[in-house]
């Protein structure tokens, strides 16, 4: 069976997909991914064939970091997805023509590709590497990072908030979605969120225990837990003035000698407003006797001053640090947050935007860490948050057990195989019925 996956141009959307496709490859399927050109070399050793997405798509990066207001940043993000949808469907169609897959796995942010998948008649699944924005009577409206609220007041808040969120999503996305659907001969949608109910399978890469529990998950949703992967050899980080060399071997040597408690501070691999977080952490936490290693990712590490006993690098495999880390301080990307909690390491989340306010709210709700407002971030508040997070190891371990119980990449591969099998059975049944009636 040939399974072809298609991703948006974001490492945070590729990396959690890789173990799923590797699991399918190990089961004897031909697994292929259309994704960022710079990541293709990591796929071959895992038995996955890689193809580059169109260059213009790869160069289409989010500009939400230019906006200061959260709702304007969200609208900017949605508009970028809408612009990409004009091209990603055609890109996938070319890949289908060249590869002739038997099944498809589509990134939730690729709306044109989703339309092509739906129209293709092939078995297909959609995967979401961030918290699902679908409305629920059991969860607060998506976007502002609100905590659940019961009773009549909570019901009113959910209803009003869901209507506001619906209007925002529809205004920024629906025109583009309707256009790509019409191009593929598909009927129009009334609201954007209907798109998430269409695929036979919608993989949510988290689990209850971290995600708010709901009694009204859509029948196509399968929560499979945190799926964490990173390339074994990230790019060599650039050195930081006034700090140890950022060569990976020297960073590992620093880790071996670092005194406890060790705090891992991370910035996003995509440009966001999270630079201040690393600056404040490197200033405040070492002064309190903590060893800090900061991965600056999208930011030049030369911009950061690491005091004695701490280090700033662009990239470093987080797994080795997490074996010893007492806490992770991050922007709230679901990838690094769940990677920490999967190891039972509590997190301090300072959300920079996008879905990160939702991630931060769930960390706090699960008692697996602490949320800090980015507008109120300073050294004193961050230090207090880390000290509080250190008392919430039990909550992080509880979330870790929930992830394990959800099944991870193997559960996702099982679900994809079930969709392929169900579609094949339905096709065979329809063929037999047609034959019998002729």
For 244-252, which contacts have Cβ atoms below 8 Å and span 24 or more sequence positions?
244/306, 244/311, 246/301, 246/311, 246/312, 246/313, 246/314, 248/316, 248/317, 251/293, 251/311, 251/313, 251/316, 252/320
SS3 at position 379: helix
Q: What is the pLDDT of residue 249?
A: 67
Whole-angstrom Cα distance, residue 21 to residue 18? 5
In this structure, are 26 and 105 located in the same domain? yes
Cα–Cα distance, 131 to 210 (Å, whole number): 10
In this structure, is residue 7 part of a structural domain?
Answer: yes
**149 & 267 share domain:** no
234 belongs to a structural domain? no
Shared domain for 341 and 429, answered yes or no, is no
Residue written as token pair 């990712």: 297
In a domain, 237, yes or no: no
Task: With respect to residue 240, please indicate whether it lies within any of the assigned structural domains.
Answer: no
For residues 139 and 262, membership in a common domain is answered with: no
> Do 269 and 198 lie in a common domain?
no
Looking at the structure, tell me whether residues 189 and 267 fall in a common domain: no
Q: Are residues 309 and 363 in the same domain?
A: yes
Identify the residue with better confidence: 1 or 271: 1
Span 182-213, pLDDT tens digits = 999 999 999 999 999 999 999 999 999 999 99
Do both 208 and 73 map to the same domain?
A: yes
pLDDT at position 380 is 95
Q: Is 242 part of a structural domain of the chain?
A: no
pLDDT in tens, 38-79: 999 999 999 999 999 999 999 888 776 666 666 677 777 888
Looking at the structure, tell me whether residues 259 and 276 fall in a common domain. Answer: yes
Mean pLDDT along residues 215-227 = 96
pLDDT at 298: 72
Mean pLDDT (the chain) is 87
Within a domain: 101: yes
Domains contained in the chain, number = 2
150 pLDDT tier (thresholds 50, 70, 90): confident
Q: Do 222 and 328 sit in the same domain of this protein?
A: no
Burial of 346 (0-12, 13-18, 19+ CB in 10 A): buried
For residue 145, what are its two tokens? Answer: 């990072």
144 DSSP 8-state letter: S
The CATH number that applies at residue 192 is 3.40.50.2000
Q: What residues make up the domain containing 347?
A: 248-402
Query: Quick one: pLDDT at residue 241?
Result: 33
**386: nearest Cα among 427, 324, 325, 313:** 325
User: φ and ψ at 307, to 5 degrees?
Assistant: -70, 170
Say what percent of the chain tops pLDDT 70.
Answer: 89
Q: Are residues 80 and 195 in the same domain?
A: yes
Structure-derived torsion over alpha carbons of residues 182, 188, 194, 199, reported in degrees to the nearest 10:
-40
**27 and 165 housed in the same domain:** yes
Tell which wins on pLDDT, 39 or 152: 39
In a domain, 219, yes or no: yes
């Amino acid at each position: 069976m040939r399974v072809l996956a298609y991703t948006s141009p974001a490492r945070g959307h590729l990396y959690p997909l890789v173990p799923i496709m590797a699991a399918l490859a190990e089961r004897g399927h031909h697994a292929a991914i259309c994704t960022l050109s710079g990541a293709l070399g990591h796929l071959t050793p895992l038995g996955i064939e890689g193809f580059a997405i169109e260059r213009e798509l790869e160069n289409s990066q989010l500009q939400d970091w230019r906006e200061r207001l959260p709702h304007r940043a969200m609208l900017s993000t949605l508009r970028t997805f809408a612009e990409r949808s004009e091209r990603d469907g055609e890109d996938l169609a070319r890949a289908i023509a060249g590869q002739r897959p038997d099944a498809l796995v589509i990134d939730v942010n690729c709306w044109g590709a989703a339309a092509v998948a739906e129209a293709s008649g092939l078995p297909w699944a959609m995967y979401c590497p961030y918290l699902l924005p679908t409305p629920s009577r059991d969860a607060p409206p998506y976007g502002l990072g609100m905590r659940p609220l019961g009773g009549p007041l909570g019901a009113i808040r959910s209803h009003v908030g869901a209507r506001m969120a619906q209007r925002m999503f529809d205004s920024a996305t629906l025109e583009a979605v309707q256009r790509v659907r019409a191009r593929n001969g598909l009927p129009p949608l009334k609201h954007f969120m209907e798109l998430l109910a269409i695929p036979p399978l919608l993989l949510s890469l988290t689990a209850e225990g971290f995600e708010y529990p709901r009694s009204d998950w859509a029948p196509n949703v399968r929560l499979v837990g945190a799926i964490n992967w990173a390339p074994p050899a990230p790019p060599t980080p650039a050195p930081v003035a006034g700090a140890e060399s950022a060569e990976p071997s020297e960073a590992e040597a620093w880790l071996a000698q670092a005194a406890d408690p060790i705090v891992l501070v991370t910035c996003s691999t995509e440009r966001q407003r999270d630079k201040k977080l690393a600056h404040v952490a490197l200033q405040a936490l070492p002064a309190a006797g903590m060893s800090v290693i900061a991965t600056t990712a999208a930011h030049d590490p030369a911009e950061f001053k690491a005091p004695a006993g701490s280090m700033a690098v662009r990239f470093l495999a987080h797994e080795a640090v997490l074996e010893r880390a007492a806490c992770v301080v991050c922007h709230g990307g679901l990838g690094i947050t769940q990677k920490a909690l999967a190891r039972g390491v509590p997190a301090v989340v300072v959300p920079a935007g996008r879905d990160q306010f939702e991630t931060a709210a769930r960390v706090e709700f699960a008692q697996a860490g602490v949320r800090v407002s980015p507008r109120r971030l300073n050294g004193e508040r961050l230090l207090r948050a880390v000290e509080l997070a250190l008392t919430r190891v039990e909550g992080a371990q509880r979330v870790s057990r929930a992830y394990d119980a959800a099944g991870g990449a193997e559960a996702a591969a099982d679900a994809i195989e079930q969709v392929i099998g169900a579609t094949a059975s339905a096709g065979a049944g329809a063929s037999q019925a047609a034959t019998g009636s002729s």
